[in-house]
Amino acid sequence: MSELRGVGIGLGVAQGPVVRMTEALPAPDDSPSTAGADAERARAREAVATVARELTARGEAAGGAAQEVLEAQAMIAEDPTLQDEVDARIDGGATAEWAVHDAFAGFRATLEAVGGYLGERAADLDDIAQRVLARLRGVDAPGVPNPGHPFVLVARDLAPADTALLDLDQVLALITTDGGPTSHTAILAREKGIVAIVGASEGTALTTGETVIVDAAAGVVTREPSTEALARAAERAAARRSAVDSPATPGALADGTPIALLANLGKPADAADAVARGAEGVGLFRTEFLFLSASQAPTVAQQRESYRELLAAFPGRKVVVRMLDAGADKPLAFLNDAHEENPALGLRGLRALRASEDILREQLTALAEADAETDADLWVMAPMVATVEETVYFTGLAREYGLKTAGVMVEVPSSALLADRVLAHADFASIGTNDLTQYTMAADRLLGSVASFQDPWHPAVLRLVREVGAAGARLGKPVGICGEAAADPLLAVVLVGLGATSLSMAPSALADVRRALSERTASDALSLAEAALDADDASSARTAVATLAAALPPHQKETTS
């Protein structure tokens, strides 16, 4: 047996024969067109329009996040600037094939240079270009093979169009050699519950036909597995299926310590799915998502209606609503449209709200009115709180409106370091690990070139979480986690060991996190947290915790691992 490693998505395990993804089409040559510019332009237009139509249709068939991704791809395919670039090359004598290949490559380089979110979309362009080329050549687009039996798909990376429509009866697991935990492939795999390991760079050695075990929980692919290893993996897979299918119980450690498992939501319409997946309430409702496209502040009546719909879905349950969080990755022109050199360090979050206090007051009014009409347990919190003074300001204002539970998000190291002072005034803290990591590591979370720093496993981030957890325990105040870190099952246990009393995440992550918690006692969680805190960097923290977790004695509830 030999092993190769990558970043596992979720806790799944699967086994089966490898089938490698069909390789990319060869690049066209740049010999001049013999058909003439008009004919080439018409061919290019037809191919692009067909591919855009196909992507939209695939999106409609898939629904959910996949639909959004595929519709965005269809729009990129038909981007007028890109079409002008294709036309310019054709006017210069190129074939439609070469014009598409070259124009898309140029656009890709531009996106990569911009970096951040747009940089991450560069790979999507390759997929669109390949689809258009295949159409022009009259051949099948490269994509997911169909060997006629279930298989473990191995690919460099998957295009969103392919991930979205993976036939889950055929694809037992997915291994990519490129891509990281925030790539589209990872996001969609998480949403669809596909057993996946991404960024397994040594996966290039895997060959079609060989049998492997894909252990996402450990981030390990086992080659030439023994009969015993295959049997153990099959047992674990069956146990996990039954755990995911069984009715959701409240989050708790193996020793019974309750850890509420809550949902991160951006719109009230997603509440039903969260409830169906066993969310015990909402740990983060991102109100700005309701208004990202608005050019003006929403009215009190519009807001009240949205909040009422959200709260009505959680009678008797905790619902934590975050005040509008404008700036940097979530621009809201009506709160701050100033050009800032460093928007992540600018007038954002509570700072922007304070500068437009009428908007903050309107939001609190709408929330208080919706609260009066519903039975949920409404908690409100402010984003990007950096000082004790800001804490006093926000909690005081919220109470003025009769909102009884007012807290702050800990996303800036200053408020983590002063957590005891902050929690002396706030009713609770909710740690936003996405921004806390960004500010601790001084790495813009939108910038691809520094993405490797944006890892919440970093012991520096975890030490700050410990500060907040310890202060919460001393003062008897709840400390939740609502950043992406809470959705990582192994890290979730560590966060509990650092003092988190609830975890909030995308609803699709709930089942795996619930199971990971149920396998560990509070004392395990403490030991795992210590192992992470003692590491030098994020990757050694992850490895140290995974190694210790594998060595810890099994617990009663651990029959499934």
What track of x and - describes contact with ligand PEP for positions 259 through 298 (by CB under 6 A)?
-------------------------x-x------------
Q: Is 85 an interacting residue with respect to Mg ion (CB under 5 A)?
A: no
Element (H, E) at 282: strand 281-286
Choosing from 483, 489, 497, 499, the residue that interacts with ligand PEP (CB under 6 A) is 483
Rounded CA gap, 151 and 14, in Å?
Answer: 10
* Residue of 165, 169, 76, 88 lying closest to 126 (CA atoms): 76
Give the range of 269-277, 432-440, 470-478, 487-495 binding ligand PEP by CB under 6 A. 432-440
Q: Which residues contact 399 (CB under 8 A, 6 or more apart)?
A: 406
> Using CB under 6 A, which residues numbered 322 to 341 contact ligand PEP?
325
* Alpha-carbon gap, residue 67 to 121, rounded angstroms: 16
Element at 175 (helix H, strand E) = strand 171-176
* Side chain identity, residue 500: A
Residue 456 in contact with Mg ion, rule: CB under 5 A: no
Question: Annotated catalytic, 482?
Answer: yes
Q: Which residues contact 155 (CB under 8 A, 6 or more apart)?
A: 20, 21, 162, 174, 175, 176, 177
Q: Which is nearer to ligand PEP, 85 or 280 (CB)?
A: 280
- Residue 432 interacts with Mg ion (CB under 5 A)? yes
Contact status, residue 253 vs residue 474, Cβ threshold 8 Å: no
Q: Which stretch binds ligand PEP (CB under 6 A): 140-148, 333-341, 426-434, 460-468?
A: 426-434
Binding test (CB under 6 A) with ligand PEP, winner from 411, 455, 512, 519: 411
Beta bridge partners of 197: 8, 175
CA 355 remoteness from chain centre: 30
Using rule CB under 5 A, residue 512 touches Mg ion: no
Q: Which partner in Mg ion, ligand PEP, none is near 120 (CB below 5 to 8 A by kind)?
A: none
Q: What torsion do the CA atoms of 331, 337, 343, 346 make, to the nearest 10 degrees?
A: -120
Using rule CB under 6 A, residue 482 touches ligand PEP: yes
Alpha helices in 121-259 (DSSP H): 122-137, 160-164, 184-192, 227-245
**Helix, strand, coil percent values for the chain (each to nearest 5):** 55, 15, 35
**Candidate segments 244-252, 307-315, 405-413, 508-516, binder of Mg ion by CB under 5 A:** 405-413
Nearer to ligand PEP, 52 or 482 (CB): 482
The torsion angle over the Cα atoms of residues 313, 319, 325 and 331, rounded to 10 degrees, is -20
The SS3 assignment for 531 reads helix
Part in contact with ligand PEP (CB under 6 A); list of ranges 123-131, 430-438, 466-474, 536-544: 430-438
Tell me which of Mg ion, ligand PEP, none is bound by residue 482, counting a contact when its beta carbon lies within the kind-specific cut-off of 5 to 8 angstroms. ligand PEP
* 239 touches 560 (CB < 8 A): yes
Minimum distance from CB of 296 to ligand PEP (Å)? Answer: 22
Q: Which stretch, 61-69, 193-201, 239-247, 434-442, contacts Mg ion (CB under 5 A)?
A: 434-442
Tell me the per-residue interface mask from 65 to 94 with ligand PEP, x by CB under 6 A, - otherwise: ------------------------------
CB closer to ligand PEP out of 286 and 425 = 286
355 sits in the region (left: phi over 0; alpha: psi -120 to 50; else beta) called alpha
Q: In this complex, which beta carbon is closest to ligand PEP, that of residue 284 or of residue 549?
A: 284
- Minimal distance in Å, beta carbon 396 to Mg ion? 22
Of 150-158, 166-174, 210-218, 424-432, which segment contacts Mg ion by CB under 5 A? Answer: 424-432
Any contact of residue 40 with ligand PEP (CB under 6 A)?
A: no
**Residue 313 has what DSSP assignment?**
T
Under rule CB under 6 A, residue 540 binds ligand PEP: no
Quick one: which segment of 123-131, 225-233, 297-305, 427-435 binds ligand PEP (CB under 6 A)?
427-435
Alpha helices in 175-323 (DSSP H): 184-192, 227-245, 271-276, 300-312
Given 101, 184, 425, 458, which residue is catalytic? 184
Residue 528 binding: pick among Mg ion, ligand PEP, none (C-beta 5-8 Å cut-off by kind): none
Nearest one of 24, 18, 23, 21 to 208, comparing CA atoms:
18
Least distance between Mg ion and beta carbon 441 (Å) = 14
Strand partners, 258: 252
Which member of 149, 458, 482, 555 is catalytic? Answer: 482
Burial class of residue 42 (count of CB atoms within 10 Å of its CB; 0-12, 13-18, 19+): middle
Q: CA angle, 467 as apex, 511 and 398 as ends, to 5°?
A: 80
176 contact, one of ligand PEP, Mg ion, none, CB 5-8 Å limit per kind:
none
Judged by CB, which is closer to ligand PEP: 236, or 286?
Answer: 286
**Which residues have C-beta within 8 Å of that of residue 289, sequence separation ≥ 6?**
266, 267, 330
Query: Judged by CB under 6 A, how many residues of this single chain contact ligand PEP?
Result: 10
User: Cβ closer to Mg ion: 127 or 411?
Assistant: 411
Q: How far is the CB of 383 from Mg ion (least distance, A)?
A: 6
The 8-class DSSP code of residue 253 comes to: -
Q: Give the shortest CB-435-to-Mg ion separation in angstroms.
A: 4
Contact partner, 286, from ligand PEP, Mg ion, none, Cβ < 5-8 Å per class: ligand PEP
> Is residue 434 at the binding interface for ligand PEP, with CB under 6 A as the rule?
yes
As measured in angstroms, the least distance from the Cβ of 390 to ligand PEP is 16
Look at phi and psi of residue 116 and say left if phi exceeds 0, alpha if psi is from -120 to 50, else beta.
Answer: left
432 binds ligand PEP (CB under 6 A): yes
Smallest separation, CB 453 to ligand PEP (Å): 15
- Non-local (6+) Cβ contacts of 228 within 8 A are none
Residues that bind Mg ion (CB under 5 A): 411, 432, 435
Residues that bind ligand PEP (CB under 6 A): 284, 286, 325, 411, 432-435, 482-483
Q: List residues with catalytic annotation.
A: 184, 482
